[in-house]
Structure 1
Amino acid sequence: MKNILPFLIFLLCFNSIQGLAQDELPIRGLAIAAPKPNEVDRFVKFIHEELAPRHINTLVLRVDYNYQFESHPELRDEVALSRDEVKKLVASSKQHGIKIIPQINLLGHQSWGTETENLLTVYPEFDETPHVQIPEKYVWPNPDGLYCKSYCPLHPGVHKVVFALVDEIMEVFEADAFHAGMDEVFYIGDDKCPRCQGRDKAELFAGEVTKIRNHLAISDQRLWIWGDRLLEGKTTGLGLWEASYNSTHRAIDLIPKDVVINDWHYEKPVGTPVYFGMKGFDVVSCSWRKPEVGISHVEDMFLFRKNNPDEMKDRFAGVMLTVWSGVTPFLDGFDAYMANPNQKLEEKEMNQPWVTFVKMFDRYGELAQKE
């Protein structure tokens, strides 16, 4: 008994520190591009020195084609992560209880600007809109309504390819959840697609979500997606980007309830997590580059958990900071900011994802300590 008592006291103290308000916001996340091979060591250092002390426990890594796939080597980026480099990321994250959720953009985001992404470059037959040509100089708006290309969800060959990629990165990342993206899908059910024309766009979107979800469920893995296509954009005033103008929002009543919704709003902390929660989904509220918005996301999720019935409380799963750049620009900005975090910044310098990351999770720490 003499020998075990100090050990028990140590465990109680350790758990009170490590388990900071686990019941309050179970998910504290960062979403960012997976590091390039030459960025891995720097990112591992960031995991140890910054993510762990801030009690981040979820890391969504946009892998896409930044991995040396064996199943479809023709889809690899020219420079891509090796298996050993991925295992470095996995080991460092596991050390701190951080879950990695790998992402490949499925359905939408198959092109960007003047570049077609790897899938449609190698397999152009999967293109939902082959009649829409990628321009030499991209502008928005444009006559074709081109933002990003989509693959055709009804093409008979597309899932054999993309599911092989999904299975491979789920195995190498030792993951139990996968992020399929599926945001900002403007091309779906195109009138010129021989398979999709005339079909209900909400049913097409829901069918693709369900197909991916069911594939993952075979291996007891869970699907995460961005939530914008499940919100109606016109009546709500949320607009074309944060919500749907092409009727996909009705898919919210057609997809399985175990899909995790990442509800992103970057200009204002819109209260749509309550809508998703009332529909039966677990929801993570996501911010980007405005510190005051990120802080509000944190405060709102605490309030939603406090002020809703027990049946809904845990559906407000947490918060995530999203970064829409590569690792190096983010870490360069973060390091420069942390060298003098009390400096007075102009609005442009303040409205950056690294500043929002710090302010957002500082606020989380304050609120968690009060609980």
Structure 2
Amino acid sequence: MKSLLAFFLLLSSQLLMAQSTTPDSLPTVRGFCIAAPTPAEHARFLTFIEKELAPRGVNTLVLRVDYNYQFKSRPELRDANALSEAQVKQMAQLCKRYSINLIPQINLLGHQSWAGTTNNLLRVYPQFDETPHVTMPAKYAWPNPDGLYCKSYCPLHPEVHAVVFDLVDEIMDAFEAKAFHAGMDEVFYIGDDKCPRCGGRDKAELFAGEITKIRNHLAQKGRRLWIWGDRLLDGKATGLGMWEASMNNTHRAVDLIPKDVVICDWHYDRAEPTAAYLVMKGFEVITCPWNKPAVATAQYEAFKDFKATANPTLASRYLGLMQTVWSGAGNFMDVYYGTKTTDERQKGPVDSFVQLFQVMNTSK
């Protein structure tokens, strides 16, 4: 009897230890997402982390790296002017000092081009292109007859993952990171009818398959996948349309992907209630504003209301907020510090960042 009691006491203590590391006990995500600095901006960005992010209580920093790193495994994919390993290690160590979770991002699947420029992966490996028949325009305009927003790689190409996973593994080691952000937003080209591998396949299954493949690769080393959430939302049923949600049927992937994928739910014009939907689907979710302070603060109020009124199971999955910045780090710092003349449009993300964290820091 004593041995049985001892066993149950030991089991109870182990369960309590496990619970102490669950998302319930983790601090609210207070995130900031921006393009990784160029080498010339690196020193100034270190100061920005130390003097601006850390004092505001930012505890999560997503850096959009893409090819802005001196990759050794795939040097052909480096940007011409890219961060060195030593510079990345400096950022990693500084973030550790201030208990900031540093998460690198490389856009996978979609966003393999921008406007009239093909990005490094498809420029070096054109055989990975999902739509090689769509030529890049000399002068980009939207809308266009090809429906070209950004190119995608073919998720079923037999050689693509050997390449992209080399990049992922190397950047994760360099950043000493526990989570990886794969982007995955605004994927318009998927399952193209002319693709010899993807043509005729279910787009939701293709999208879910790619997410699952990336997630499983990361999980082998105990790492976690983050993605943007727009492709998991039904653009027609919700009225959100083709940008903030899917109009090409990828939304059904929400029921096909592993539940430990963290969803970054972005909406920039209104405080849409989609985080609640994704939480109820079983995911951990982070709401992501951009350039409208009133929307950002409304999203924070919605977050607080949900945390206060939902049952503990649902409430624990709503992790927090992350301010997004869709410009270079140097440009954002110039606007933030007033070192260049700017228009109101450029001030939006700065004002949103300042006001969101002011509200978060003063809220009870």
TM above 0.5, one fold? yes
- Indicate the SS of the match to 1:28: strand
Residue 358 of structure 1 is matched in structure 2 by: 354
Partner Cα distance (1:250, 1:324) in 2: 28
Q: What does 1:271-290 align with in structure 2 at a 5 Å threshold?
A: 271-290=273-292
Q: Is the 1:25–1:302 Cα contact (8 Å) retained in structure 2?
A: no
CA distance in 1, matches of 2:31, 2:25: 15
Q: What SS class does the counterpart of residue 319 from structure 2 fall into?
A: strand
Secondary structure at 1:251's aligned position in 2? helix
Shift of 1:25: 5.6
Q: Which amino acid in 1 is paired with 2:327?
A: S
- Cα distance per residue 1:131-186 (max 9 Å; x no partner): 00000000000000000000000000000000000000000000000000000000
Other-structure match for 1:85: 87
The code of the aligned residue for 1:222 comes to R
Q: 1:334 to 1:166 in 2, by over 3 A?
A: same
Q: Percent identity?
A: 62
Q: Find the counterpart in structure 1 of residue 209 from structure 2.
A: 207
The amino acid of 1:205's aligned partner reads F
From 194, 210, 213, the equivalent of 1:192 is 194
1:328-367 CA-partner distances (Å, limit 9, x unpaired): 1100111129xxxxxxx99x36861011000001000111
C-alpha change, 1:349 and 1:253, in structure 2 (3 Å) is: closer
The answer to whether the Cα contact below 8 Å between 2:335 and 2:346 also exists between their aligned partners in 1 is no
| Within-5 A mapping of 1:7-22 | none
CA distance in 2, matches of 1:61, 1:74: 21
Q: Hey, what does 1:8 align to over in structure 2?
A: none
Measure, in 1, the Cα distance between the counterparts of 2:205 and 2:310: 31
Q: How does 1:211-290 map to 2 (within 5 A)?
A: 211-290=213-292
Query: Superposition RMSD on alpha carbons, in Å?
Result: 1.5
Aligned residues: 339
Match of 1:45 among 44, 47, 50: 47
Q: 1:259-297 CA deviation, whole Å, 9 max, x = no partner? A: 000000000010100000000000000000000011111
Q: Distance in 2 between matches of 1:31 and 1:114?
A: 25
1:1-371 alignment runs, 5 A limit: 26-336=28-338, 348=344, 352-367=348-363, 370=364
Contact 1:24 / 1:305 at 8 angstroms: preserved in 2? no
Instruction: Report the 3-state secondary structure (helix = DSSP H, G, I; strand = E; otherwise coil) of the residue aligned with 1:81.
Output: coil
Residue pair 1:291, 1:350 contacting (<8 A) in 2 also: no
Read off the aligned partner of 2:233 and give its amino acid letter: L
After TM superposition, give the deviation of residue 298 of structure 1 in Å: 1.3
TM normalised by structure 2 equals: 0.91
Distance (Å, rounded) in 1 between the aligned partners of 2:61 and 2:256 = 28
How far apart in 1 are the matches of 2:128 and 2:221?
26
Post-superposition offset of 1:23: 6.0
CA displacement 1:169-222 (0-9 Å, x = unmatched): 000000000000000000000000000001000000000000000000000000
How much does 1:234 deviate? 1.1
Cα distance change on mapping 1:85 and 1:144 into 2, 3 Å: same
Unpaired runs of 5+ residues, structure 1, are 1-21, 338-344
- CA shift, 1:24, in A, is 8.7
Unaligned 5+ residue runs, structure 2?
Answer: 1-23
- SS of 2:238's equivalent in the other structure is coil
